[in-house]
Structure 1
Amino acid sequence: MTARAHLRRRFRALVAQFARNVRAAVIIEMAFAIPFLVLLGFGGLEIANLTLTHTRISQLGLNTADNASRIAAGSNLAQPQVREADINDVFAGVEKQAGNLHFEQHGRIILSSLERNSDGGQWIHWQRCYGDLNVDSSYGTEGDGQSGTDFPGMGPEGAEVTAAAGTAVMFVEVVYEYQPLLYGKWLGTRTIRSTAAFNIREARDLSQVYNPSPAATKSSCS
C-alpha cells in the first residue's frame, strides 16, 4: 500500500469517527443554551424583586396611614393636637421601613387630612410630603374642597374615600420609581403607585397643624 493510499484511508477513518462522535454537538448546543438560561434566570429574579417591591410599597402606605391616624399629642384636659413634629416622626418611620429601597431619593409619600368643610362637603385641610420624587397628588391638593360640595373626596373616580363629620381620614399616596437589580431596564420605566386610608383613631383638634417652639420643619409638598 502506497503512502498516499494509507493517508486517504486514515483520513476516511477520522471522518467516520468524527461523524459518530456527538460530544461536539452537545457542546455547541450548550454554548447556545447557557446565555439564554442565564438571562432567563436573571429575568426571573428581576420579576420576583419587582413583585416584592410592589408588596413593600403597599405595606409602606398602609403603615404610614395607620401611624398618622394615631397622632395624639396633648393632655387629657384638651383634644389632642397634630403637630409638624409628629408628622415628621411619621415620615422618619418611612425611611426605616423602606430600608434598601432608598425611598427618599426615588419615591414620595403624600399625606392628606381629608375632612368635612362647613358646607358638608369634602375638604383636603392639610397635606404634607416626604421624598425627592417630583410628583403631585393624583386626587387633589391642600385646600381643595374648602367650601361647597363639589369635591367628591380622594381616590379613584367612583370609589372616593370620604370623611364623616367631626373626624378626619388620613389618606396616603405612595409613588416610587422601581430600581432594578441588574437587567431591569428591559422592563421599562416602572412607577409603582399605592394608596391607603385610615380614619383617625380618636377625636383630635382639627383646627390646624400646630408647630410649637422649638418649631419643626414643615414637610411641604412644594
Structure 2
Amino acid sequence: MRAGMPARLRPLARRLRADRRGLALLEFAFTLPLLLMTGLYGVEIANLALVNLRISQIALNLADNASRVGTTPLSVQQLREVDINDVLQAARYQGSSIGLTTRGRIIVSSLENVQQSYDTQPVQRIHWQRCIGLRGSTASDATYNSSYGSATPLATAGTDATLANAGTPQPGGMGDAGTRVSAPPGTGVIFVEINYNYKPLISGYLVGSAARIHYTGSFIVRDNRDFTQLYNPVTSPATVPSTCDRYTT
C-alpha cells in the first residue's frame, strides 16, 4: 500500500487488488488484434500458395497438351491454329476460378532446332508464339508479355514456310538464367510462360511484392511433327489465330 494514501481509500484499494473478475476477457482483448492478424496472414498466405500451385500446374498441363496435339492422315503430324486455340481454351477454363486470362497473360512458344527450306544448317529459333490474356497491352504492363524473346513479326511468324515469317533466332534457349531449355537437334520444345496479377483475399500489405506471379513449363514435342509452319486450312476448320499482337480472354 502506497504511503500517504488516505485511510478511507485503503479498503477500496485492497478490494481492487484482490478482484480477478473479467481477467480472461481483458487478456483476450489485448491478444485479439495479434490473433486476428496472424489468422488473416495465414489465410492470405494459404491462398497465395494455392494460386501459385494452380498456375504452375496450368503451365505444365498446357505445355504437355501443346506438345502432343496435331492431325494428319500421314505419319508426320501437322499442327493447326485450331489445335493451339483448343489447348489455350483448356488453360483458360482451368484458370477461370482465378480469372487467369483477365488478370494475366499466357504465352506459348515453339522453340525449334531444325533446318528449314531456307536454312543452310539447323537453327534454333522461336518459330511462332501464340497468346491469350488481357495483360500486357500497355507500356506499364509490358512485364506480362514474353520474358524470353518473341517470334517476330508477331502477327505472321510461323504462318507460312517463308524466311520472312521464320520467327526469331534464339541460340541461347529460353528460360531464366541457370534453368534455360534448348530444343534437341531435329525437333522442338513447347515453352509456356504465364504471368498473373495476384488479387489478395485480405490485403496486399500481407503479401508484399507477390503481386505478379510468374511460372514457366516446357515439354519436348513427342510426335513426328511437321515444323514447316502452323496450318490453318479453310475446311478443317479455319480459325482466327491467337497471335501475340491480340489481347483477348
* Superposition TM-score tier, normalisation by shorter sequence: 0.7 to 0.9
1:209 pairs with 2:230: yes
Partner of 2:181: 161
Partner of 2:99: 102
What SS class does the counterpart of residue 95 from structure 2 fall into? helix
1:38 pairs with 2:36: yes
Which structure dedicates a bigger proportion of its chain to helix?
1
Larger radius of gyration: 1
What SS class does the counterpart of residue 168 from structure 2 fall into? coil
> 1:49 Cα deviation (Å)?
1.2
- Corresponding residue to 2:190 among 153, 166, 170: 170
Q: Equivalences for 1:36-185 in 2 at 5 Å?
A: 36-75=34-73, 77=74, 79-118=76-115, 119-134=121-136, 135-142=144-151, 143-145=167-169, 151-185=171-205
Whether the 8 Å contact between 1:167 and 1:200 is mirrored in structure 2 is yes
Whether the 8 Å contact between 1:115 and 1:163 is mirrored in structure 2 is yes
RMSD of Structure 2 on Structure 1 (CA):
1.9
Partner of 1:3: none
> 1:184 Cα deviation (Å)?
3.5
- Superposed structure 1 runs of 4+ greater than 6 Å apart: none
Q: Give the TM-score taking structure 1 as reference length.
A: 0.86
What SS class does the counterpart of residue 201 from structure 1 fall into? coil
> 1:105 Cα deviation (Å)?
0.7
Whether the 8 Å contact between 1:84 and 1:216 is mirrored in structure 2 is yes
1:194 pairs with 2:215: yes
Which structure 1 segments of 5+ residues have no match?
Answer: 1-7
Whether the 8 Å contact between 2:59 and 2:193 is mirrored in structure 1 is yes
Equivalent AA in structure 1 for residue 56 of structure 2? S
Whether the 8 Å contact between 1:42 and 1:183 is mirrored in structure 2 is no
Distance, in Å, in 2 between the alignment partners of 1:40 and 1:151 is 48
Equivalent AA in structure 2 for residue 168 of structure 1? G
Distance, in Å, in 2 between the alignment partners of 1:12 and 1:81 is 97
Distance of aligned partners of 1:189 and 1:217 in 2 relative to their CA distance in 1, 3 Å threshold = farther
Distance of aligned partners of 1:158 and 1:27 in 2 relative to their CA distance in 1, 3 Å threshold = closer
- Higher mean C-alpha displacement, 95-104 vs 18-27: 18-27
Distance, in Å, in 1 between the alignment partners of 2:196 and 2:185 is 33
Identity over aligned pairs, percent: 44
- Higher mean C-alpha displacement, 119-128 vs 85-94: 119-128
Whether the 8 Å contact between 1:144 and 1:151 is mirrored in structure 2 is no
> 1:25 Cα deviation (Å)?
4.4
